């Protein structure tokens, strides 16, 4: 029993990685904010490592570190009520100066004790990561999965469900994805300024060199098979998101779509841009999302679930078809390209 329990803990620890965040030109690992925790500076070597990493200098007999953030963070730090700058100063014993909103200056941390300054820097970075994780997703990396075959089969699927809508509680035409926007989601972001956008574009280009080009060289052109449906919600009688499954046509374990997508997601994690680390990306092509629901008495983003019980019984293995694996795109979530109806691209790499 003990061995089994320890095995579960070990497996859990493998999947729990610290957040990574891009600060002042460097990517830093940060732990979840804990008011009562203090970094244990176990050795002088450890202390010197932090001192080099944070460029801590002595100014007027006080230890001093500074760094710059994307401008939107300054306002959010000042307005964050759960943890204030005064709380951080009280917890750490260091002095922290945050620029006012709209001012492009550096955050300054200083104090008479090196360990206090290090601790303040660590806690402030954790706070910044927490703030970022709470921002609404603004951009995403996705693989377009719309072609004539898949769009046509999706339209038939939609028409069939709507023809039976009287027997499907909560069904409505407005909750379906637009056929021209069907895509496989790889990762989502809250990129806060043009520098973070540029970093995401660079990582996407790196993914082509490191992952995609070697894959295609080995396998030749690939197709993505969109087949089968499932729900994000465990209770089929109250569903908010229904999606289609996806994999490479004739895929092999060593060259699976899952491994490719996980590798791409991991590159963005290592680059400090993914909001939350997930060891395995949930492969999904969203078909229905109740947040799209519209109507006279429907408030924006309200979620009224639908009953998917009969849908899962009849269409669990529905085949939407095959699409060429041609590109991966970094896109805005809330902007649509007027020419093709897909999400507006920040950058696209062709496979």
The whole-model pTM stands at 0.84
Domain stops at, among 109, 133, 157: 133
Whether residue 8 lies inside any domain: the answer is no
The answer for 279, left when phi > 0, alpha when psi is -120 to 50, beta otherwise, is alpha
* pLDDT one-digit tens code per residue, 52-73: 989 999 998 999 999 998 888 8
Percentage of the chain beyond pLDDT 70 is 90
Predicted local distance difference test score (pLDDT) of residue 42:
63
Number of domains into which the chain is organized? 2
Tell me whether residue 260 is exposed, middle or buried, using C-beta atoms within 10 angstroms of its C-beta: 0 to 12, 13 to 18, 19 or more: buried
Q: Are residues 183 and 239 in the same domain?
A: yes
Residues near 175 by beta carbon (within 8 Å), at least 6 away in sequence: 288, 289, 290, 292, 293, 306
C-alpha closest to that of 305 among 230, 225, 237:
237
CB-neighbour burial class of residue 47 (10 A; exposed 0-12, middle 13-18, buried 19+): middle
214-241, pLDDT tens digit by residue? 999 999 999 999 999 999 988 999 999 9
DSSP state of 190: -
Q: H or E stretch including 48?
A: helix 44-53
Distance CA 115, CA 107 (A): 18
Angstrom CA distances, 256 to 102, 253, 317, stand at 46, 5, 20
Mark whether 199 and 302 lie in a shared domain: yes
**Residue 15: is its pLDDT beyond 80?**
no
pLDDT for res 39: 59
Q: Which residues pair with 141 in a beta bridge?
A: 187, 330
pLDDT tens digits, 148-164: 999 999 999 999 999 97
Flag whether 27 is in a domain. yes
CATH number at residue 238: 3.90.1140.10
Same domain as 256, residue 177: yes
| Per-residue pLDDT reduced to its tens digit, 327-345 | 999 999 999 999 999 999 9
Could you say which of 105, 133, 161 is where a domain stops?
133
Quote the CA–CA distance of 242 and 306 in Å, as a whole number: 10
Q: Which domain holds residue 341?
A: 139-350
Taking the C-alpha atoms of residue 162 and residue 160, their distance in angstroms, rounded to an integer, is 6
């Amino acid at each position: 029993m003990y061995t089994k329990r320890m095995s579960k803990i070990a497996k859990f620890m493998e999947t729990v990685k610290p957040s990574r965040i891009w600060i002042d030109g460097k990517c830093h690992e940060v732990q979840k904010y804990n008011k009562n925790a203090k970094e244990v500076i176990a050795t002088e070597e450890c202390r010197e490592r932090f001192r080099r990493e944070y460029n801590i200098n002595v100014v007027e007999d006080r230890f001093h570190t500074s760094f710059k953030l994307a401008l939107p963070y300054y306002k959010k730090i000042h307005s964050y009520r759960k943890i204030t700058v005064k709380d951080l100063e009280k917890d750490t014993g260091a002095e922290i100066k945050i620029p006012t909103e709209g001012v492009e200056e550096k955050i300054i941390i200083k104090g008479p004790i090196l360990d206090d300054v290090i601790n303040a820097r660590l806690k402030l970075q954790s706070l910044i990561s927490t703030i970022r994780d709470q921002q609404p997703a603004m951009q995403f990396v996705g693989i377009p999965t719309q072609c004539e075959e898949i769009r046509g089969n999706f339209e038939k699927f939609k028409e069939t469900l709507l023809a039976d809508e009287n027997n499907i509680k909560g069904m409505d035409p407005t909750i379906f994805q637009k056929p021209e926007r069907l895509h496989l989601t790889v990762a989502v972001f809250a990129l806060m300024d043009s520098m973070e956008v540029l970093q995401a574009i660079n990582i996407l280009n790196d993914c082509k060199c490191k992952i995609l080009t070697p894959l295609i060289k080995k396998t030749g052109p690939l197709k993505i098979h969109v087949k089968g449906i499932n729900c994000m919600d465990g209770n089929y009688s109250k569903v908010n998101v229904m999606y289609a499954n996806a994999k490479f046509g004739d895929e092999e374990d060593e060259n699976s779509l899952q491994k490719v997508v996980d590798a791409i997601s991991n590159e963005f994690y290592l680059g400090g841009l993914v909001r939350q680390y997930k060891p395995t990306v949930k492969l999904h092509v969203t078909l229905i999302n109740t947040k799209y629901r519209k109507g006279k008495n429907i408030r924006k983003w309200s979620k009224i679930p639908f009953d998917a019980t009969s849908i899962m019984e009849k269409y669990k293995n529905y085949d939407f078809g095959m699409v060429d694996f041609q590109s991966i795109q970094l896109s805005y979530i809330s902007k649509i390209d007027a020419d093709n109806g897909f999400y507006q691209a920040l950058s696209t790499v062709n496979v």
